[in-house]
Amino acid sequence: MDEVFEVPIRDDVIRLGQFLKLANLLESGAEAKLIVAEGEVAVNGETELRRGRQLTAGDVVTVFGNSARVGGPAPA
């Protein structure tokens, strides 16, 4: 597996579909909907089928061997 990179988020939580786009793991919301529904996305090592799942700091999202960690809110 590749290196896990951290992606800061603006708030305390973010939905999985939004995070996939923010982290540049997928290109669009439509792609996220399809890929999540097909079971290709894991959160903390567990397959996740809910695009609306709430992620918090420390969660690790993996898709197609690429992983990103949810970072805490970026400093203002």
CB 20 within 8 A of CB 27: no
Which residue range(s) make up the domain with 9? 4-73
Number of structural domains, the chain? 1
CB atoms within 10 A of CB 39: 10
pLDDT tens profile 14-58: 999 999 999 999 988 899 999 999 999 999 999 999 999 999 999
Measured CA to CA, the distance from residue 49 to residue 10 in angstroms comes to: 24
pTM of the prediction? Answer: 0.90
Residue 16 sits in a domain whose CATH number is 3.10.290.10
Handedness of CA 8, 11, 29, 60 (dihedral sign): positive
Measured CA to CA, the distance from residue 9 to residue 64 in angstroms comes to: 22
Q: Is the pLDDT of residue 1 over 50?
A: no
